[in-house]
C-alpha cells in the first residue's frame, strides 16, 4: 500500500531581520490510508509548522512532499487551493468558522469551490450534519452555538468533500472536557469509517486515540510509536 | 492611563500606523472641505459682501431696453444722456435715479497728476447708493455744484504724501475745482473700471481712486445731441423701492415718444416684437458681471463634492469600527453608553481632525489664489478675499460634523440588546461585510452622486468650452486694436465729405499718414485695416428694409466693416465664394462689397453662392458683391448670434480713429509700440490726436469669456475630483475591508478557494451596489438635468444618452477596478498568514 503522505528530508525555517529559526529539520514521515496519527511535543517544537506544511498552507525550504502521489514542491497558491479542496480537510483549534454564514453555508463552502450543483451540495450538507448530530442547527450562525457545536460544524465542513486526509490542530484546545470527549469520539468514529487523520494535541489522553504517535522536539521527529487502540472516555449523558 | 490620554494617544498612533484608514479620510475631507470653504469665501466676496461705498446696493437696479432686432442682433438702449434726462422727468425720479459718466480728463494737484479717475454723476447718486461722507461737506441738492468730492483712498494716499486735499483746489482739464468733501471709495460698474486693471495681480479693484463731479442730469434736454458713449456712461440706475416701472407695453409706448422722428419707425417695429425686453438688472451684477452665477456654480459644485466626501468618510468609519465591535461590546458591557463611546472616539480622532483642518485651510487658500489664474484676465474682487476667522471656524465645524456623522452612523449598527453575539465570535473579530444595509446604502449613494455630478459637470464644461474656445471664424492671436482719440470733433468731422469716395480722399490721407508712422515705428507690426475690425469695443449697425431677389421685403440688420486689400486673408476670415477686393479696385473706389454668408442667404435665398457673385448687395444698393465670407462670431458668447456683415472700402471718421494691427509671430505689441513714443510721433503730424490705447483681440476674448473659462476649467477639475474621490473612497473601503477580511479569505483558501474565487466573491458583492448606484444615479441625472434647464435657464446642451452611457461605463470600470485591484493585491499577499499561530 502506498502512503497518502510522504515527507522526505523536509526542512523549514523562518527568517526575520536578525535570526533564522529552524522550525523543521530533516522530517521523514509516511502516513498510510486509514491511519490516525497524533503529533505531540512541547510549545515551539514545530507542530503547527508541520501541520501548515502538510496542509499546503506554507512552503518548505528543502526536501520532498508527496501528497496522494502529487509532488507538492513549487506549487502556486491556486494549485495548492485546488489540492486542499480535493484532498485535505482542516479542523482548527479556534474553529475558524465564518461568522456571517450559517452553519449550512459554512459546511457547503468547499463544495461550492468544487463547482458542484446546489442540490447536490444541499444533500451532502444534510448528510454530514446528521453525522455530527447537528441537523437541527443548519440555519444557525456560529455565534449562536456552543464551542463544542462549533467544532463539530468545523469537522462537518472538513469531511463534506470526502478528503484523503483530515488535518486536525488541537481540536479540543478551546473546549471543556465533556465537549472535548464528544469531539474526539467523533474523530475516532470517522477514523473507523476510513478517514485518515493527523492530529496535533497536547492532551496525552486524546493522543492515545491515535494509532500512531509522533513526537517532535526542536523541529525533529524523535519518536514514532504505534499505539494500541484504547477506549474513548465515556459518553456524556 | 486616563481614558482621555489613552484615546488621544491611541489616535495619534493610528494616524501613522493605520494609513489605510487615515489617509483616505484625510484626503477626502481636507480637499473637499478646502474647496467648499474656498468657494464660500469667493461667493461671499462676489455675492454677499457689501460693496464699498454702496450700502444700498440691494435697492438699486439698472434699466435697459433690450431690442431683439433680428434673430441675430440685439441692441441695448437707454444709455444716452438724453435718455436719462427724459426718464427722470417723466417718472419724477430726479431723486431716485442716477447715472455715472467717466471723464476723459485726468486730475492734477500742483501740476502733479493725481493717480485717479474723474467721474461725473447725477447729484442724487450718493444718497441713493448710501455712500458715507467721511470728511467735509455732505453732498446735497443745494451744494452739489460747489466743488468736487474725492474718494477716501485718494485722500489718504495724498495725505501720506503731505497733501491734505480737503479745501484745496485741483485742476481737471482746463477747470479748477475745490475739494469740498471726502467720501467712501465707491464700487463702480465694471466697464467703468476696466482701465484700472492691475495686470500684475490679475485683479480688478472695484473701487478705484475717484474724483466726483456732480450735476443735475434731469436737466439734460430732450434734444441733447450727445450720442451713445457706451464705454463712458453707465446704465441708468434707479432705486426700485421708490420708482415703479410700469408694465412693459406702457413703458415702450412712452419710450417711443422720446425717440427721434427719423428712427421712430424702426424703433416701433422692434419695440413691438415680443422678445424685446425691459431689463432690470441688479447694481451688483453690473459691478461684478456673472459673479453671482459663477459663485452659485462654485458653491453648488463644492457642496456636492463635500457630500460625496462625507459619504466616503462615513463608509470608511463604518468599515473601520465594525472590526472593533468586539472592543466596543466589551466597553458597553462594562457600563459605557453609546454617547460616551462617541465622545471617546471623537477624542481618538482629534489628531486626524487637526491634520484634516490644517490641510483644508491650505487647500482653501490655494483655491482662492488659483482661481484668478484660470481667468487669464482681470477678476473682480470686492475688497480682500482671504480665509479669515469665520472661514476657519466653518472648516472646523464641517470637519467635526463629518467625523461625528461617520462615528454616529457606525456605532448605530451595534445592537445593545445583542452584545453577546459580538463577543461570541470565532475569536478573530467580526469583519466588515458589504451585506450590511448601511454600507450598501452608502456605496450606492456615492456611486449615484458620482454619476449625477460628473454628468452635470461635463455638460456644463462642454457648454462653456463651446463658448470660450471654439472658433470665432477669424484669427484672434497676434491681432490688436489701436485707438487714437481727439477732443476736436469738428476736426474729425471735417474729413467726412458727402458722397466722396474713400481712396485718395482727405480721410484716406489721414489714416494712411498714421499707418505710415505706425509701421515705421514698429517694424514687426503691419496695419491690416485702417479702421476697426471684426472684434472691437465699438459696434455699428444699420437696419433697413431691403428688397430681396424675389421682390419681397425684409427688415435686415447688418454691420459695416472696412474692406481693404489683404484684410480678410490676414484676419483669417474664410472666403467661400468669389474673392476679396483687389488693390486696383480699392484704388479706383469701385463700389464693391464682400458680405457674410447669412446676409447672402437672406437676400438671395434661392441662389447658389457662385451665382450671387456679381449681384448687388440688395436691390436698392449700388454695391456689387464680389465675395462671400464665412459667418463669424463677434462676441464669444453669441453662439447663435451670427450678425451679418458687409465689408466695404469706406471709412467714416469720428473722434476716435481705429486701426487693426497684426504682429509677427512672437512679437509683443507692448514692446513694439512704446505707446508714448508712438503718440508723440503721430502728434507731430496730427497734433489734434490726444491719446492712444491698444488692446489685443486675445484680451477682448479673454475678458468676454472669463466666466466661461473659469467655469469650464473648474467643472473639469471638479469632475476629476469627483472621480478621484470615488476611487479614494471605494478603494480605501475595499482595502480596509479586505484586510479585515483576510481572516475569512484565509479560511476560504483552506477550503479550496483560488485567488480568482476570492476576487469574484468581492466583485459579486460590489456589482449589486454598482447596479443600484447606477440606476438611482441615472434617474436623478435625468431629473436634475431637466430641472436645471427649466428653472435656471442654464441653456445646457441637449441631453446626450451616449454621453451618459459612456460616463456610466467609465464610472463602473473605475469602481470595479477600485474593488478588484486592492482585493487582488491583498489576496496575492497570501492571507493564509492570518491563520498562522505564533
Nearest CA distance, A229 vs chain B (angstrom): 31
Measured between alpha carbons, how far is B44 from B31 in angstroms, rounded to an integer? 20
pLDDT tens, residue by residue, B506-546 = 889 999 999 999 988 887 888 998 888 888 766 676 777 77
CB contacts, 8 Å: B755 with chain A: 77-78, 81
CB contacts, 8 Å: A144 with chain B: 421
Q: Say yes or no: B829 contacts chain A, CB-CB below 8 A.
A: no
CB contacts, 8 Å: A86 with chain B: 752
Measured between alpha carbons, how far is B399 from B269 in angstroms, rounded to an integer? 60
Nearest CA in chain B to A48: B837
Mutation choice for A interface testing from B326, B431, B751 by most A CBs within 10 A:
B751
CB contact under 8 A, A98 and B747: yes
SS3 B390: helix
Measured between alpha carbons, how far is B656 from B536 in angstroms, rounded to an integer? 12
Which chain A residues have any C-beta within 8 angstroms of a chain B C-beta?
Answer: 48, 52, 55, 57-58, 77-78, 81-82, 84-86, 90, 92, 94-100, 109-110, 113-114, 142-144, 150, 157, 161
**pLDDT exceeds cutoff 60 at B283:** yes
CB contact under 8 A, A94 and B750: no
Nearest Cβ partner of B426 from A55, A94, A157? Answer: A94
Nearest Cβ partner of A78 from B433, B435, B754? Answer: B754
Least-confidence region, from B73-87, B300-314, B526-540, B813-827: B73-87
Mutation choice for A interface testing from B421, B423, B752 by most A CBs within 10 A:
B752
CB contacts, 8 Å: B427 with chain A: 94-95
pLDDT of residue B429: 40
User: What is the mean predicted confidence (pLDDT) over A45-73?
Assistant: 87
User: What is the mean predicted confidence (pLDDT) over B13-35?
Assistant: 86
Nearest CA distance, A110 vs chain B (angstrom): 5
Average pLDDT of chain B to the nearest whole number: 82
Q: Which residue matches cell numbers 477732443?
A: B487
Phi, psi angle pair for B104, to nearest 5°: -75, -35
Look at B76 and A114; give whichever has higher pLDDT: A114
Nearest Cβ partner of B752 from A81, A92, A96? Answer: A81
**pLDDT exceeds cutoff 80 at B674:** no
Nearest Cβ partner of A52 from B435, B756, B836? Answer: B836
Nearest CA distance, A8 vs chain B (angstrom): 23
Do B583 and B590 meet the contact criterion of CB atoms below 8 Å apart? no
Nearest CA distance, B345 vs chain A (angstrom): 26
Nearest Cβ partner of A98 from B744, B757, B836? Answer: B744
pLDDT of residue A233: 43
Nearest CA distance, A17 vs chain B (angstrom): 17
For chain A, give the percent of residues with pLDDT over 70.
Answer: 95
| Contacts (Cβ under 8 Å, ≥6 apart) of B486 | B492, B655, B656, B657, B688, B689, B690
**pLDDT exceeds cutoff 60 at B448:** yes
Residue ranges of B 703-732 with Cβ closer than 8 A to chain A: none
**pLDDT exceeds cutoff 70 at A201:** yes
Q: Say yes or no: B433 contacts chain A, CB-CB below 8 A.
A: yes
User: What is the mean predicted confidence (pLDDT) over B294-300?
Assistant: 80
For chain B, give the percent of residues with pLDDT over 70.
Answer: 86
Sign of the dihedral through C-alpha B498, B501, B506, B507: positive
**pLDDT exceeds cutoff 60 at B1:** no
**pLDDT exceeds cutoff 80 at B199:** no
CB contacts, 8 Å: B830 with chain A: 77
Q: Say yes or no: B825 contacts chain A, CB-CB below 8 A.
A: no
Nearest CA in chain B to A90: B750
CB contact under 8 A, A90 and B751: yes
Express the helix, strand and coil content of chain B in percent, nearest 5 each.
50, 15, 30
Based on its alpha-carbon atoms, the radius of gyration of chain B, rounded to whole angstroms, reads 34
Q: Per DSSP, what are the bridge partners of residue B148?
A: B179
Nearest CA distance, A30 vs chain B (angstrom): 22
User: Which one, of B612, B642, B607, lies nearest residue B624 by Cα?
Assistant: B612
**pLDDT exceeds cutoff 60 at B173:** yes
pLDDT of residue B126: 95
Measured between alpha carbons, how far is B300 from B39 in angstroms, rounded to an integer? 9
Nearest CA distance, A57 vs chain B (angstrom): 7
User: What is the mean predicted confidence (pLDDT) over B122-149?
Assistant: 94
Residue spans per domain, chain A: 33-57+76-226
Nearest CA distance, B17 vs chain A (angstrom): 20
CB contact under 8 A, A113 and B421: no
CB contacts, 8 Å: B757 with chain A: 81, 113
User: What is the mean predicted confidence (pLDDT) over A55-74?
Assistant: 86
CB contact under 8 A, A96 and B750: yes
**pLDDT exceeds cutoff 50 at A230:** no
Task: Give the count of Cβ contacts less than 8 A between chain A and B.
Answer: 84
Measured between alpha carbons, how far is B253 from B736 in angstroms, rounded to an integer? 72
Position B182 confidence tier, pLDDT thresholds 50, 70, 90:
very high
For chain B, give the percent of residues with pLDDT over 90.
Answer: 22
Residue spans per domain, chain B: 57-287, 431-469+705-838, 479-704
User: What is the mean predicted confidence (pLDDT) over A23-35?
Assistant: 92
**pLDDT exceeds cutoff 90 at B168:** yes
pTM, two decimals, is 0.72
CA separation (Å) from B748 to A106, A158, B101, B213, B263?
A: 10, 12, 82, 87, 89
pLDDT of residue B204: 60
**pLDDT exceeds cutoff 90 at A140:** yes
Least-confidence region, from B184-188, B308-312, B421-425: B421-425
CB contact under 8 A, A48 and B428: no
| Contacts (Cβ under 8 Å, ≥6 apart) of B9 | B1
CB contact under 8 A, A95 and B426: yes
CB contact under 8 A, A81 and B754: yes
Measured between alpha carbons, how far is B742 from B756 in angstroms, rounded to an integer? 15
**pLDDT exceeds cutoff 70 at B76:** no
pLDDT tens, residue by residue, B312-338 = 888 888 888 887 877 787 777 666 678
Look at A146 and B200; give whichever has higher pLDDT: A146
Q: Say yes or no: B413 contacts chain A, CB-CB below 8 A.
A: no
CB contact under 8 A, B753 and A113: yes
CB contacts, 8 Å: A113 with chain B: 748, 751-754, 757
User: What is the mean predicted confidence (pLDDT) over B103-109?
Assistant: 84
CB contact under 8 A, B750 and A58: no
pLDDT of residue B545: 72
pLDDT tens, residue by residue, B388-412 = 888 889 899 999 999 999 999 888 8
Measured between alpha carbons, how far is B69 from B88 in angstroms, rounded to an integer? 26
Position B803 confidence tier, pLDDT thresholds 50, 70, 90:
confident
CB contacts, 8 Å: A82 with chain B: 752, 754
Measured between alpha carbons, how far is B651 from B496 in angstroms, rounded to an integer? 9
Nearest CA in chain A to B423: A143
User: What is the mean predicted confidence (pLDDT) over B460-475?
Assistant: 85
- Report the CATH architecture of A33-57+76-226: 3-Layer(aba) Sandwich (3.40)
Position B775 confidence tier, pLDDT thresholds 50, 70, 90:
very high
Q: Say yes or no: B757 contacts chain A, CB-CB below 8 A.
A: yes
CB contact under 8 A, B836 and A48: yes
Position B435 confidence tier, pLDDT thresholds 50, 70, 90:
low
Do B341 and B667 meet the contact criterion of CB atoms below 8 Å apart? no
Least-confidence region, from A127-131, B450-454, B505-509, B540-544: B540-544
Q: Say yes or no: B421 contacts chain A, CB-CB below 8 A.
A: yes
Measured between alpha carbons, how far is B758 from B749 in angstroms, rounded to an integer? 8
Nearest Cβ partner of B747 from A58, A82, A96? Answer: A96
Mutation choice for B interface testing from A86, A100, A156 by most B CBs within 10 A:
A100
Nearest CA in chain A to B432: A100
pLDDT tens, residue by residue, B376-388 = 555 566 777 788 8
Written as nine digits, the cell of B752 is 479550496
**pLDDT exceeds cutoff 90 at B211:** yes
Q: Which residue matches cell numbers 426718464?
A: B87
CB contacts, 8 Å: A146 with chain B: none
Written as nine digits, the cell of B450 is 458620482
E strand segments, B129-209? 133-136, 148-151, 169-172, 175-183, 203-205
Nearest CA distance, B327 vs chain A (angstrom): 16
Measured between alpha carbons, how far is A124 from A130 in angstroms, rounded to an integer? 10
DSSP state for residue B798 in the 8-state scheme: P
Amino acid at each position: 500500500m502506498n502512503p497518502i503522505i510522504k515527507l522526505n528530508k523536509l526542512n523549514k525555517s523562518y527568517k526575520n531581520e536578525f535570526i533564522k529559526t529552524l522550525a523543521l529539520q530533516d522530517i521523514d514521515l509516511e502516513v498510510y490510508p486509514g491511519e490516525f496519527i497524533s503529533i505531540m511535543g512541547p510549545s515551539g517544537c514545530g507542530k503547527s509548522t508541520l501541520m501548515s506544511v502538510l496542509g499546503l498552507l506554507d512552503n518548505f525550504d528543502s526536501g520532498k512532499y508527496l501528497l496522494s502521489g502529487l509532488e507538492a514542491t513549487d506549487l502556486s497558491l491556486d494549485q495548492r487551493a485546488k489540492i486542499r479542496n480535493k484532498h485535505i480537510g482542516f479542523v482548527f483549534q479556534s474553529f475558524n468558522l465564518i461568522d456571517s454564514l450559517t452553519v449550512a453555508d459554512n459546511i457547503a463552502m468547499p463544495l461550492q469551490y468544487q463547482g458542484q450543483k446546489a442540490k447536490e451540495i444541499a444533500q451532502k450538507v444534510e448528510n454530514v450534519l446528521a453525522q455530527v448530530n447537528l441537523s437541527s442547527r443548519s440555519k444557525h450562525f456560529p455565534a449562536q452555538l456552543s464551542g463544542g457545536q462549533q467544532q463539530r460544524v468545523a469537522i462537518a465542513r472538513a469531511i463534506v468533500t470526502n478528503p484523503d486526509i483530515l488535518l486536525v490542530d488541537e481540536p479540543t484546545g478551546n473546549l471543556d472536557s465533556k465537549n472535548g470527549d464528544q469531539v474526539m469520539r467523533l474523530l475516532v468514529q470517522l477514523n473507523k469509517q476510513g478517514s485518515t487523520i493527523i492530529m496535533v494535541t497536547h492532551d496525552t489522553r486524546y493522543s492515545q486515540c491515535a494509532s500512531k504517535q509522533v513526537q517532535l522536539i526542536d523541529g525533529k521527529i524523535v519518536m514514532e510509536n504505534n499505539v494500541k487502540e484504547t477506549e474513548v472516555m465515556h459518553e456524556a449523558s | 492611563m486616563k481614558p482621555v490620554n489613552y484615546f488621544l494617544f491611541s489616535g495619534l498612533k493610528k494616524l501613522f500606523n493605520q494609513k489605510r484608514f487615515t489617509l483616505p479620510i484625510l484626503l477626502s475631507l481636507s480637499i473637499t472641505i478646502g474647496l467648499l470653504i474656498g468657494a464660500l469665501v469667493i461667493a461671499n466676496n462676489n455675492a454677499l459682501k457689501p460693496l464699498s461705498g454702496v450700502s444700498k446696493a440691494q435697492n438699486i437696479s439698472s434699466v435697459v431696453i433690450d431690442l431683439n432686432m433680428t434673430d441675430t442682433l440685439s441692441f441695448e438702449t437707454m444709455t444716452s444722456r438724453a435718455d436719462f434726462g427724459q426718464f427722470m422727468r417723466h417718472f419724477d425720479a430726479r431723486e431716485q435715479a442716477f447715472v455715472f459718466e467717466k471723464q476723459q480728463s485726468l486730475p492734477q494737484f500742483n501740476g502733479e497728476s493725481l493717480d485717479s479717475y474723474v467721474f461725473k454723476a447725477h447729484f442724487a447718486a450718493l444718497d441713493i447708493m448710501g455712500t458715507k461722507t467721511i470728511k467735509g461737506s455732505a453732498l446735497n441738492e443745494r451744494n452739489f455744484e460747489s466743488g468736487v468730492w474725492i474718494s477716501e483712498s485718494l485722500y489718504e494716499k495724498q495725505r501720506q504724501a503731505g497733501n491734505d486735499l480737503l479745501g484745496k483746489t485741483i485742476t481737471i482739464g482746463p477747470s479748477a475745482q475745490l475739494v469740498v468733501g471726502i467720501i467712501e471709495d465707491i464700487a463702480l460698474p465694471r466697464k467703468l473700471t476696466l482701465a484700472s486693471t492691475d495686470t500684475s495681480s490679475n485683479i480688478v479693484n472695484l473701487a478705484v481712486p475717484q474724483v466726483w463731479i456732480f450735476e443735475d442730469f434731469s436737466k439734460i434736454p430732450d434734444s441733447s445731441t450727445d450720442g451713445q458713449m457706451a464705454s463712458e456712461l453707465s446704465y441708468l440706475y434707479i432705486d426700485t423701492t421708490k420708482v415703479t416701472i410700469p408694465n412693459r407695453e406702457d413703458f415702450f409706448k412712452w419710450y417711443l415718444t422720446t425717440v427721434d422722428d427719423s428712427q421712430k419707425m424702426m424703433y416701433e417695429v422692434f419695440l413691438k416684437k415680443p422678445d424685446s425686453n425691459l431689463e432690470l438688472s441688479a447694481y451688483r451684477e453690473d459691478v461684478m458681471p456673472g459673479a453671482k452665477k459663477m459663485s452659485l456654480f462654485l458653491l453648488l459644485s463644492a457642496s456636492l463634492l463635500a457630500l460625496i466626501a462625507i459619504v466616503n468618510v462615513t463608509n470608511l468609519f463604518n468599515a473601520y469600527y465594525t472590526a472593533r465591535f468586539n472592543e466596543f461590546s466589551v466597553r458597553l458591557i462594562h457600563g459605557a453608553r453609546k454617547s460616551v463611546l462617541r465622545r471617546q472616539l471623537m477624542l481618538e480622532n482629534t489628531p486626524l481632525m487637526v491634520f484634516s483642518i490644517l490641510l483644508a485651510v491650505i487647500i482653501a487658500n490655494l483655491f482662492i489664489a488659483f482661481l484668478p489664474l484660470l481667468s487669464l484676465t482681470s477678476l473682480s474682487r470686492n475688497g480682500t478675499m482671504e480665509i479669515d476667522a469665520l472661514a476657519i471656524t466653518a472648516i472646523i465645524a464641517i470637519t467635526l460634523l463629518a467625523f461625528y456623522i461617520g462615528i454616529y452612523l457606525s456605532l448605530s449598527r451595534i445592537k445593545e440588546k445583542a452584545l453577546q453575539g459580538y463577543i461570541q465570535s470565532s475569536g478573530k473579530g467580526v469583519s466588515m461585510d458589504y451585506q450590511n444595509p448601511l454600507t450598501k446604502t452608502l456605496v450606492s449613494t456615492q456611486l449615484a452622486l458620482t454619476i449625477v455630478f460628473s454628468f452635470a459637470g461635463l455638460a456644463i464644461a462642454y457648454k462653456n468650452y463651446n463658448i470660450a474656445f471654439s472658433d470665432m471664424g477669424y484669427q484672434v492671436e497676434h491681432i490688436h486694436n489701436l485707438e487714437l482719440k481727439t477732443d476736436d470733433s469738428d476736426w474729425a468731422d471735417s474729413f467726412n465729405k458727402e458722397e466722396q469716395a474713400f481712396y485718395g480722399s482727405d480721410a484716406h490721407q489721414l489714416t494712411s499718414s498714421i499707418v505710415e508712422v505706425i509701421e515705421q515705428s514698429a517694424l514687426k507690426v503691419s496695419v491690416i485695416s485702417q479702421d476697426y475690425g471684426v472684434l472691437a469695443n465699438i459696434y455699428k449697425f444699420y437696419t433697413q428694409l431691403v428688397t430681396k431677389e424675389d421682390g419681397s421685403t425684409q427688415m435686415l440688420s447688418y454691420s459695416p466693416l472696412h474692406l481693404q486689400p489683404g484684410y480678410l486673408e490676414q484676419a483669417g476670415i474664410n472666403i467661400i465664394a468669389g474673392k476679396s477686393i483687389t488693390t486696383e479696385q480699392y484704388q479706383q473706389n469701385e463700389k464693391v462689397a464682400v458680405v457674410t454668408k447669412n446676409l447672402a442667404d437672406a437676400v438671395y435665398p434661392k441662389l447658389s453662392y457662385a451665382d450671387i457673385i456679381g449681384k448687388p448687395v440688395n436691390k436698392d444698393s449700388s454695391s456689387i458683391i464680389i465675395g462671400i465670407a464665412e459667418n463669424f462670431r463677434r462676441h464669444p458668447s453669441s453662439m447663435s448670434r451670427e450678425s451679418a456683415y458687409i465689408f466695404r472700402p469706406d471709412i467714416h471718421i469720428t473722434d476716435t480713429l481705429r486701426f487693426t494691427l497684426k504682429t509677427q509671430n512672437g512679437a509683443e505689441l507692448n514692446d513694439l509700440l512704446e505707446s508714448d513714443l508712438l503718440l508723440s510721433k503721430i502728434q507731430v503730424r496730427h497734433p489734434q490726436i490726444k491719446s492712444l490705447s491698444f488692446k489685443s483681440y486675445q484680451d477682448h476674448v479673454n475678458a468676454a469669456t472669463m466666466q466661461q473659462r473659469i467655469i469650464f476649467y473648474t467643472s473639469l477639475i471638479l469632475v476629476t475630483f469627483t472621480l478621484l474621490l470615488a476611487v479614494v473612497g471605494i478603494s480605501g473601503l475595499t482595502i480596509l475591508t479586505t484586510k479585515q477580511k483576510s481572516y475569512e479569505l484565509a479560511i476560504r483558501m483552506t477550503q479550496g478557494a483560488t485567488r480568482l474565487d476570492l476576487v469574484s466573491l468581492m466583485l459579486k458583492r460590489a456589482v449589486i451596489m454598482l447596479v443600484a448606484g447606477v440606476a438611482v444615479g441615472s434617474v436623478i441625472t435625468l431629473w436634475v438635468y431637466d430641472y436645471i434647464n427649466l428653472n435656471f435657464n442654464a441653456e445646457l446642451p441637449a441631453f446626450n444618452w451616449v454621453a451618459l452611457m459612456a460616463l456610466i461605463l467609465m464610472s463602473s470600470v473605475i469602481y470595479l477596478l477600485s474593488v478588484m485591484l486592492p482585493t487582488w493585491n491583498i489576496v496575492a499577499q497570501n492571507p493564509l498568514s492570518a491563520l498562522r499561530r505564533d
